[in-house]
Amino acid sequence: DSGVTQTPKHLITATGQRVTLRCSPRSGDLSVYWYQQSLDQGLQFLIQYYNGEERAKGNILERFSAQQFPDLHSELNLSSLELGDSALYFCASSVGGQGGYGYTFGSGTRLTVV
Amino acid sequence: GIQVEQSPPDLILQEGANSTLRCNFSDSVNNLQWFHQNPWGQLINLFYIPSGTKQNGRLSATTVATERYSLLYISSSQTTDSGVYFCAVKRSGGSNYKLTFGKGTLLTVNP
């Protein structure tokens, strides 16, 4: 157990739907990062939050949004889902905002859009 | 952005063999990590090694930051070592805090 908890582990949904992925960071970590792993794009950075505020954005689609709550857990919202959104979504956390002591990854949420 | 190249892309070994995986990166980094993604998709952190050498059991890693490469050594490989090995780096300086991943090395260890 890495200490980063992601739920659910698996999600199957239909095109056009909206889903929410949840992440609880490792105790003491203030930063949360979201990554998407698809077969053709590899592991891509989506977005980072630090202590409740958005810190950096990567290749995140406008249909996707995220937030970090006061208890530091984070949610990634995916809407108007398309077949191409099927992927593994990882959450990672780090102590500071710059990952200076390494990043710890959760087990991922496998999203299948049918 | 920073480029991360891993080699070889694929590697097939017999159980008990040794192997070396390489990661080259195009800019100065202050974070480098090696991960193992198992067949179930879990990303397991192997080493946090922005510089120097570390060992953990049959695995060891060396990063030569000045020459912008890192090596992961696997000795006496076992079938459970199979999976994809990723190198990921964070560029020094700036406001970009993301980890950039290489495309990985797919390791298959046969019994």
pLDDT range class, residue A95, cuts 50, 70, 90:
confident
Instruction: Compute the count of residue pairs across chains A and B with CB atoms less than 8 Å apart.
Output: 57
Average pLDDT score over residue span A16-38? 95
Rounded percentage of chain A residues whose pLDDT exceeds 90: 81
Residue A97 has pLDDT above 70, yes or no: no
pLDDT range class, residue B8, cuts 50, 70, 90:
very high
Residues of A in contact with B45 (CB under 8 A): 2, 102-105
What per-residue confidence (pLDDT) applies to B51? 94
- The answer to whether the CB atoms of A105 and B45 lie below 8 A apart is yes
Residues of A in contact with B98 (CB under 8 A): 33, 45, 48, 56, 58
Residues B6 and B21 sit within 8 Å (Cβ to Cβ) = yes
* Structure confidence by residue, pLDDT tens digits, B48-107: 999 999 999 999 999 999 999 999 999 999 999 999 999 999 888 766 678 899 999 999
What per-residue confidence (pLDDT) applies to A39? 83
Task: Give the gap in angstroms from C-alpha A14 to the nearest C-alpha of chain B.
Answer: 22
Between B111 and B1, the higher pLDDT residue: B111
Of A98, A103, A107, the CB nearest to B33: A103
Residue B2 has pLDDT above 80, yes or no: yes
| Strand stretches in B1-111, DSSP E | 4-7, 10-14, 19-25, 29-37, 43-48, 52-56, 59-64, 69-74, 83-91, 100-101, 105-110
Nearest CA in chain A to B29: A100
